[in-house]
Structure 1
Amino acid sequence: MSIHDNILIKIRDMKDSLTPVEKLVANYILEHLEDIPHLSIKQLAQLTNTSDASVLRFCKTLGYSGYRGFIVSISASLGSMDETEKDQYTDIQPGDELPVIISNISRNNMKSIEDTLQVIDKNGIARAVQVLRESKRIAFFGIGASGLVGIDAEQKFSRINKMCHTYTDGHSQLTAATLLEKNDVAIFISNSGRTGEILDAMEIAKKNGACIIAITKYTKSELADKANIVLSISTPEMTIRSGAMGSRIAMLTVIDILFAGVASAEYKSVKKYLAKTHDIIASKHRN
Structure 2
Amino acid sequence: MEEYEKNIVPHIEAIYDNFTPLEKTIADFFIHNEEKTDLSSKNVSKHLFVSEASLSRFAKKCGYKGYREFIFCYEQGGSTASRRPASDHIKMVLSDYQELLNKSYSLMDEDQIERIAEIISMKKRIYVYGKGSSGLAAMEMKLRFMRIGVTIEAITDVDIMKMNSVLLDSECAAIGISVSGRTEAVINSLKSAKKCGAAVILMTSHVEKRFQNFCDEIMLFAVKANLEEGKAISPQFPILVMVDMLYSRMLRMDYFRRETLHEYTLEVLEKDS
Q: What is the TM-score when the length of structure 1 is the normalising length?
A: 0.60
**Closer/same/farther in 2, CA of residues 139 and 240 from structure 1, 3 Å limit:** closer
2:219 corresponds, among 211, 231, 240, to 231
Distance 1:181 1:200 in 2: 16
The structure that is helix-richer by fraction is 1
Residues 124 and 241 of structure 1: CA distance in aligned 2, closer, same or farther (over 3 Å): closer
Aligned to 1:214: 202
Q: In structure 1, give the amino acid aligned to 2:142.
A: E
Contact 1:186 1:213 in 2 (8 A): yes
**Offset, 1:244:** 8.6
Pick closer, same or farther for the CA change 1:181–1:172 going to 2, 3 Å: same
Q: 2:179, 2:228 within 8 Å by CA — same for their partners in 1?
A: no
| Matched ranges for 1:151-230 at <5 A | 151-220=139-208, 222-223=210-211, 226-230=214-218
C-alpha contact 1:214 1:224 (8 A) present in aligned 2: no
Shift of 1:205: 0.5
Amino acid aligned to 2:107: V
Contact 2:124 2:151 in 1 (8 A): yes
Match of 1:276 among 235, 254, 264: 264
Larger Rg: 2
CA contact (8 A) 1:194 1:223 kept: no
Q: Deviations over 1:145-175 (max 9, x none)?
A: 1000000000001111211110112101111
Compute the displacement of 1:239 (Å). Answer: 6.2
Judged with a 3 Å threshold, the aligned counterparts in structure 2 of structure 1 residues 239 and 215 are, in CA distance, closer, same or farther, namely closer
Residue equivalent to 1:128: 116
| Offset of residue 246 of structure 1 | 5.5
Structure 2 unmatched ranges of 5 or more: 1-85
| Structure-2 residue corresponding to 1:266 | 254
State the percentage of identical aligned residues: 21
Alignment match, 2:99: 111
Contact 2:181 2:206 in 1 (8 A): no
**Partner SS, residue 269 of structure 1:** helix
CA-to-partner distance for each residue in 1:83-139, whole Å, 9 max, x for gaps? xxxxxxxxxxxxxxx833322222212211210220233221111011111010110
Q: How far 1:219 moved relative to its partner? A: 3.1
Gaps of 5+ in 1: 1-97
Q: 1:244 to 1:183 in 2, by over 3 A?
A: farther
- 1:164 to 1:173, Cα distance in 2 relative to 1, 3 A: same
CA contact (8 A) 1:112 1:247 kept: no
Q: 2 CA distance for matches of 1:239 and 1:200?
A: 23
**Residues 104 and 221 of structure 2 are in contact (CA less than 8 Å); yes or no, is this contact kept in structure 1?**
yes
SS in 1 for 2:236: helix
User: What do the CA deviations read for 1:65-86 (whole angstroms, capped 9, x no partner)?
Assistant: xxxxxxxxxxxxxxxxxxxxxx
- TM-score with structure 2 setting the length: 0.63
TM superposition shift of 1:182: 0.2
Alignment partners' CA distance in 1, 2:198 and 2:235: 25
- Aligned pair count reads 189
Partner of 2:40: none
Aligned in 2, Cα 1:148/1:124: closer, same or farther, shift over 3 Å? same
The amino acid that maps onto 2:200 is: I
Residue identity in the other structure for 2:88? V
